[in-house]
A = this chain, B = another copy of it.
Amino acid sequence: MSRYRFTIEYDGAPYSGWQRQDDRRSVQGALEAALNRLGESAPTVYGAGRTDAGVHALAQVAHADLERPWAPFRVMEALNAHLRDAGEPIAILDCSEVDDSFHARFSATQRHYIYRIMARRAPLTVDAGRAWNVKQALNVDAMHEAAQLLVGEHDFTTFRSTECQAQSPVKTLDRIAVREKETQALPAVIEIDVAARSFLHNQVRSIAGALKEVGSGKWTASDLEASLQAKDRCACAPVAPPHGLYLVGVVY
């Protein structure tokens, strides 16, 4: 057995999430099925981030132990061919052989997510399913400034799904930035860029939902702080939809 590390991109739309589930389509399940078609008897693929239903990834990281001594380029090519033939919008961008001590989930020291918003009344066309269409203009500077309150170690109970299984609601947000991205899209795409060692279930989407309230002027920065301090899920704004969220990197 040798351990392989994969960098993986996917369109989250058709999946119930990263995690394998008996009766539903998952990214992990699709990858394991593709490895199985390559002759690997019972492969398990471990991902760095267990993305939710509908959430995209541009650079998820995963590992698997394979029975055959694959050349990394060959296993990447074979997986991409099987995934394409199976109609799975999943692509392996990179593959390397790694030491057995590497674990995609437990060795990760930082996860990096981007949440994309297009603030305009007109429906999305080219970016449909690729960003959250907020129907009003947002004050990006106000969002960025208020967001800085969330940096550091906090009890994020307010920004955590009631179904979250993490033992503690205390997490450390390494950074958060809200900015307009220079693209040809009209108006500019707003990106919320967050990084932390790990996140609670729905944490990024809960933060995005709260920052939207700040951007629209419904909440002040003080309201955001009060919401954090409440440590009460009911103090959160509506959670932002999954199709605006991208796992864009994992640091080891």
Contact = CB atoms under 8 A, between A and B. Distances in A.
A7 B186 CA distance: 10
A205 interface: no
A120 B94 CA distance: 11
Contacts of A7: 186
Contact of A91 (B77, B84, B122): B122
How many monomers of this chain does the complex have?
2
A11 B122 CA distance: 14
Interface size class of A (residues with CB under 8 A): 20 to 34
Interface string A208-252: 000000000000000000000000000000000000001011000
B123 A91 contact: yes
Nearest to A249: B184
Contacts of A56: 126
A136 to B, nearest CB: 14
Interface string A1-23: 00000010111000000000000
The dominant DSSP class at the A interface is mixed
A125 B10 contact: yes
Contact of A184 (B77, B184, B246): B246
A125 B186 contact: no
Contacts of A76: 122
A114 interface: yes
Given A76-B122, A91-B123, A93-B186, 20 more contacts: A9-B122, A9-B125, A11-B126, A56-B126, A58-B126, A58-B184, A58-B185, A58-B186, A59-B184, A59-B186, A80-B122, A80-B123, A89-B126, A89-B128, A91-B124, A93-B120, A93-B122, A94-B186, A126-B246, A184-B248
Interface of A: 7, 9-11, 56, 58-59, 76-77, 80, 83-84, 89-94, 114, 120-126, 128, 130, 184-186, 246, 248-249
